[in-house]
Amino acid sequence: MIRVLGCIFQQHDLRLVVLAAGLCVLACATALTMITRARAAEEQRTRLIWLAGAGAVAGSGIWATHFIAMLAYSAGMPIAFEPGLTVLSAAIAMGLCGVGFAVALMAGGAVGGMICGFAIAAMHYAGMAAVQLPARGVWDFPYVSASILIGVSLSGLALHFAFRGRMRRDYVLGAGLFALAIVGMHFTGMAAVRFVPEAGHAFSPMAMDPFALAIVVAASAAFIVGQGLIVALVDRYLARRAQGESLRMRDHIAELETTQKALKKASNDLTVALGVAAEANHAKSNFLASMSHELRTPLNAIIGFSDTMMMEVFGPLSERYKSYCADIHHSGEHLLALINDVLDLSRLDAGHADLHEEEFDPAELISESLRMLMNQAGKAQIGLSTHIEPGLPWLKADKRRIKQILINLMSNALKFTPAGGQVRISARLVPEGLAMAVSDSGIGIEPQNIPKVMERFGMVDSAMSRKHAGTGLGLPLSKQLTELHGGSLALESTVNVGTTVTVTLPRERLMARDAAIAAA
């Protein structure tokens, strides 16, 4: 040990020794980092590329450490290096280190490390063979054996700890032992040789200053090692980032799967609920249809007999009884109208409402409907008017249903228009087809209540609605009948100004007037 330390401190430029040692540590740390990337690689080809790179970096570091230390060596005489053997020594270091790293990956760190130790020794003594100076070398073979033993054993320990890799300190210990193996082997090997001057050795001394050449070699090796370190660190960063993204994606997928299961369960529950609701609605419609039929028979009798009594067919009645008969008659008609509306809605819900289509003049139908409500309008002191565009085409539709729509809309208009007001019925052609509108100057509807009045049994609480009781079925029934014809119903209203309900029937239901008259 004293001999080795004496060799270092007495026969070497310590500045270059420190430079060589620093470069050696950097190369060892970089090589082990690249081996870590090789172990993490999944593809065989990628793993081999990383191992080859690690071998090149480690070999460059070992060779540069040896060469810089040789330039730091002071033999007391001119020195030079044979280029072929110098290049061969570098190739030996790179190749055998690559093989050692591959063996370490497959068979274990200690075995591969020992191969790397032999690579260090082979590179060193090949490099020593390249040394040229006017002297002959005298070797101390026990020290030569000790140098090889140091390189092989410390390299084996270095890769053993590095490949165990349980904690960061294992990598740090591995890199330190690997660097110590290189430096220890080199300086023990240098202590094993003694150069005796001898004449007759022809060689060409180096033209470049040894210190400057050492700086150039160190810079070149540092560039190679630095490139390897940058590539390894960038790859490790990208791998960690990809791993983080993969974990986040996995968590996101798990969350989506959980959400999908919840949505599927909710969808199944909703399907079941819709099925139950449909069954309940069907049962309701059947019940209403059945009960409505049962109620119509006695109602027709009540209306017929009250009408007979009002006409005094079987003898005169007092005014009081005649008034009672009129109330019975009007109440029966009101109840019958309600039952008819319920029956119509039940048929529509069940899909049993068939259209009995025929061709007719819409202007004539509007006039008929208007005449039916003249008496009611007169009693309420409300003016009725029409505005029908001349030359309207005929309609092909269910005449009774269209008439039912118009009467429903006009009845509503009369019901919610105060005395002195106006109800107007208009008909005109629009791009969509035929538009028939019922407008009034009544109480109007607030915007937030419009959806409510379009619902079944939907009524807005107001003084006018309390005065004229209704069922809340007229507008929904009219809307469904309009849609059954392929048309649309729109409601516009302004409070204290009035309401306009527009029924639009599609152009497909319009016929040329002359052709319709001829067909009739």
> DSSP assignment of 121-154, as one string?
HHHHHHHHHTEE-SEEEEE-HHHHHHHHHHHHHH
Predicted pLDDT of residue 394: 93
Please tell me the predicted confidence (pLDDT) of residue 466: 43
Reference 94, options 217, 186, 235, 224; nearest CA is 224
With H, G, I as helix, E, B as strand and everything else as coil, classify residue 391.
coil
User: What is the architecture of the domain spanning 354-519?
Assistant: 2-Layer Sandwich (3.30)
What's the pLDDT at 499? Answer: 93
How confident is the model at residue 517, as a pLDDT?
Answer: 47
Contact 443, 468 (CB under 8 A): no
Residue 346 near residue 288, CB atoms below 8 Å: yes
Q: Quick one: pLDDT at residue 469?
A: 52
The 8-class DSSP code of residue 195 comes to E
| Backbone phi, psi, residue 444, to 5° | 75, 175
What is the block-wise mean pLDDT of the chain (520 residues), using blocks of 10 residues? 73 85 91 87 87 90 88 78 87 90 86 90 88 82 90 90 78 89 88 79 66 87 89 87 86 90 91 87 70 74 84 82 82 75 70 81 92 88 92 92 90 90 94 94 88 76 50 82 92 92 94 56
* Token pair for 95: 């190749």
Sign of CA pseudo-dihedral 435, 440, 446, 451: negative
137-149 pLDDT tens trace: 888 888 889 989 9
What is the model's pLDDT at position 1? Answer: 66
Single pTM value for the model? 0.50
**Phi then psi dihedrals of residue 426, to 5 deg:** -130, 155
> What is the 8-class DSSP label of residue 422?
E
Q: Which pLDDT score, from 0 to 100, does residue 463 have?
A: 46
Kindly compute the dihedral angle of the four CA atoms of residues 29, 35, 37, 41, in this order, to the nearest 10 degrees.
180
Q: Is the dihedral of CA 309, 311, 317, 319 positive or negative?
A: positive
CA distance readout (Å), 438 to 408, 419, 478, 480:
10, 17, 12, 17
Sorted by where each begins, the domain ranges of the chain are: 2-207, 354-519
Amino acid 289: pLDDT: 64
Per-residue confidence (pLDDT) for residue 114, from 0 to 100: 92
How many CB atoms within 10 Å of residue 277? 11
> What is 435-451 written as a DSSP string?
EEEEEE-S----GGGHH
